Structure 1
């Protein structure tokens, strides 16, 4: 418009008459209203909307080839939802979501909600890329979205594009990711210390409800890599990135940090902090406060005080705790047992160390999930004991409460008590990815699939590059199973299984959901893989693996496994 106002207006009218309006009419669409260079259109079905959108964008691509100096690119967003009619206009969340999806579409592209995608999947000959949960402006919860690939690409290119990390939209509040700090101590053994300090800084920042903080598991996917800060901001969907280094020499420690605006690459703040090991918690507080002052200066004093909490007064206990953190999420039984030993050692030194108790409970949860328990009854009793002690000591610490709550529900079979602790954790810290994940799982177990899916979508947005994303995807598959949406359940479980081909819960859901959906070949293939990994599995022992609360859910799960051919 700035270069040629009249020519642009004439061109816009031309493409509407030649491409846009006739295509909408051909697909039974109704133009509700126009808004300058945009329009709101209502369709009888999502299939009509998708076909119309693709045809418009392909038509516009051809038009733009003929007018390279005067190209016009539209973005299109599609959503299925309730609307309110008022005279000739329509209103409601359905309209708002479509408008937000249009905003995150590429120029010349189409972006649709998961609700719309479910309606058109298998009915429209297009390739779509999963963008994952998206934080849309003025929409309360993150929504899963899909990008349509519009042809002109080979199949290989389409698959490649579909697997690219999505560019996530920015939350409405200040958003930050803390990258792993570089260990410049000259001693690789100190790596655990540097990582632990960063985790504590992330935890402190996440206690500020006015900040959106990416979870540690996603931030640490950049560990040991030369990073492009702008790309980090795009992949994690944040405005700011904190990076730095740690040098530990004897009883002295130096921490440096720099805060960067990911969009522009400009440095907003940089400083170094020196002190003795006894000052380490004070150094963490000073870094946290400096970052917060730079990006969100108006904060409630209660939040500031809540962020300044020493996990323990005894540094030897803290050191064992950090060493345990470095191995707790390892993939082997030996790593799990080493983590247990280290956390118990921390508790020996400080019997009131809440986080150490919570991490012991976490170790037992992982032992249960992976079949590593040697005495199930004895270890279940110990889990309940240590989880309750953790909750008692850390009643104001969301990380403690969420881990303790999930351990009580999953291992000690105390679902109500566990759910209460997780709800309290979310009230204390709504930025804690693991609390949303554990809460989502418990909601699925309790037969509340829609709430479960919302919780899990939020967890994935808070940690979009999480190495254990497959676990959240598997939980989402379970929620869809509970809701009776077997095709969607298989979709999510297969997505998880591609990330970790040996993850039994995902394979098990493929077997039962495909079995219930009548997809017997797919179900039998999954059942065969299950027995290769766990030859002792029997349908009769299902309740110990999947603690579904409603008898009908458990019965459907068992029936699907029987149809898949698994032994009773």
Structure 2
């Protein structure tokens, strides 16, 4: 309820704004109402409502108390209600809102969010949802309890950032997503040069509020590292935003490497900027934007080595080094760097997946399965790549039924994948399901007419040729290759 102004065919006002935002908060088939509406109807209709607490909604200055109609027939996301809470305090850091009135500043609010996620992830006593799953909620209207149910966590952090000239305002609050209410909230009005202290304080206040004990090593990891130069940090955030984004082309590579190199010019000791360069050159190598891919891989190797030489405590640098070792098929180094990344950041979902792939390609698929399952639990929304590798682990282990089910799941999550379709066709060949294998193969060829199973399997870094041969044998049994 609120003021509604009728202007010809248009209606506007606070009442319209609130109604529009409440519609976005409601689950499919559900209804959300403001406290004003709830007070009017609660004694007149016999319907159950759940108090979602006060929520901030776009274009409304004050928080709005929201109630959700509890309807038994409303379906939640698959597996959400059954997802048990971890034993450790569990948390998601939601993307901080950019309040700067300048869309060009999105990289800054996103970057600060990611820095806080990374710092919290270094605490072994916490369970921290991965960045990719947290950022699914960016620029969406949601209720914190719904997000916590969907991700299977108890707590959430949300906030906003306003950057104006050399000043920055950061607000942050820690919310109990199961009981409602704030455990901690703070507003920081600081010089931009103080942004590192603000990040550290937010992390430490959250850890303290959740009563998590940090080891001395973890305290050092959270506070130390990085650069103290705000301009170098700003350039790094711009570059990182590009390499983590959806745009993948030569222009992205050129822009990101320019930002990272400029950051290094300002602070030659900035390890993360070297690691960013390494990651950019890996993307260059993977996507064949260059006529000399091996040279790009060598560049990635060189820059990650420089990153680690400057800061051996940077988990991202070790993760990138693991990727380099994977493409070079240096199995011992691949395992070592993935292990190192996980030691420094126990909640690092990509590194868990990376360590699992080492086990897959070195003939130890049973060891890969629990690691990739942990990655999926940390990254439940943006899980499709993890699901593919979990399917690959079962495939190499010879459990073709489970592998096929997982590859089907991955196709549902990413309908244009040719990689999972190829493995699914092979698994179906092993199972003798020839008609389904043929249909999957036809879909694959429609998506990628130039697909070559020989080239595909040749790119996969299996140490034992007999593991790679399982892929070809399945396709042959399905009558799809000679």
**Does the pair score TM above 0.5?**
yes
Q: Return the alpha-carbon distance in structure 2 between the equivalents of residues 347 and 494 of structure 1.
A: 44
Q: Secondary structure at the match of 1:464?
A: coil
Partner of 1:437: 353
Q: Is residue 316 of structure 1 aligned with residue 231 of structure 2?
A: yes
Q: Does 1:412 align with 2:322?
A: no
- Residue 360 of structure 1 is matched in structure 2 by 277
After superposition, give the CA deviation of every residue in 1:24-51 in whole Å (9 maximum; x if it has no partner).
xxxxxxxxxxxxxxxxxxxxxxxxxxxx
Q: Deviation of residue 336 (structure 1)? A: 4.5
Cα distance change, pair 344–387 in 1 and its aligned pair in 2 (3 A): same
Whole-Å separation in 1 of the counterparts to 2:189 and 2:131: 24
Cα gap change, 1:500 to 1:180, in 2 (>3 Å): same
Which whole-Å CA distance do the structure 2 matches of 1:454 and 1:187 have between them? 43
Moved more, 450-459 or 309-318: 309-318
Equivalent residue runs for 1:183-262 within 5 Å: 183-262=98-177
Task: Work out which of the residue numbers 400, 417, 422 in structure 2 matches 1:503.
Answer: 417
How many residue pairs match? The answer is: 409
Residue in structure 1 matched with residue 88 of structure 2 by the alignment: 173
Unpaired runs of 5+ residues, structure 2, are 1-71
Once the two structures are superposed, residues 130-154 of structure 1 have per-residue CA deviations (whole angstroms, 9 ceiling, x without a partner) of: xxxxxxxxxxxxxxxxxxxxxxx9x
The aligned counterpart of 2:17 is none
Structure 1 vs Structure 2 CA RMSD: 2.5
CA distance in 2, matches of 1:514, 1:471: 20
Structure 1 spans left out of the alignment, 5+ residues: 1-152
| 1:290 counterpart = 2:208 | no
1:341-365 per-position Cα deviation (integer Å, ceiling 9, x unaligned): 4334434443432222323333344
- Of 164, 182, 192, which aligns to 1:267? 182
Larger RCO, structures 1/2 (Cα 8 Å, 6+ apart):
2
Task: Output the CA distance in 1 between the equivalents of 2:95 and 2:76.
Answer: 28
Supply the distance in 1 between the matched residues of 2:181 and 2:364 (Cα, whole angstroms).
45
Any conservation in 2 of the 1:406–1:419 contact (CA below 8 Å)? no
TM-score normalised by the chain length of structure 1: 0.67
Aligned to 1:540: 454
Per the TM alignment, residue 517 of structure 1 is displaced from its structure 2 partner at its CA by 2.4
Cα deviation for residue 297 of structure 1 reads: 5.2
Spell out, residue by residue over 1:254-283, the C-alpha distance to the aligned partner (whole angstroms, 9 max, x if none).
111111111111111111112222211111
Rg: which structure is higher? Answer: 1
Q: Counterpart in 1 of 2:471?
A: 557
In structure 2, the CA distance between the partners of 1:314 and 1:532, relative to structure 1 (3 Å rule), is farther
CA distance in 2, matches of 1:189, 1:203: 23
1:544 CA drift (Å): 3.8
> Would the alpha carbon gap of residues 222 and 540 (structure 1) be closer, same or farther in structure 2, given more than 3 Å must change?
closer
Indicate yes or no: 2:390 matched with 1:476. Answer: yes
Give the Cα separation in 1 of the matches to 2:278 and 2:428: 34
Aligned partners of 2:191 and 2:233: how far apart in 1? Answer: 15
Partner residue of 2:304? 387
Deviation of 1:368 after TM superposition, in Å, equals: 4.9
Match of 1:456 in 2: 372
Correspondent of 1:515 among 429, 443, 449: 429
Would you say the 8 A contact 1:343–1:360 is kept in 2?
A: yes
Distance apart, 1:179 and its partner CA: 0.8
2:346 paired with 1:422 = no
CA shift for structure 1 position 463 = 1.5
In structure 2, the partner of 1:36 is none
Which deviates more from structure 2 when the two are superposed, residues 488-497 or residues 513-522?
513-522
Quote the residue 2:267 is aligned against. 350
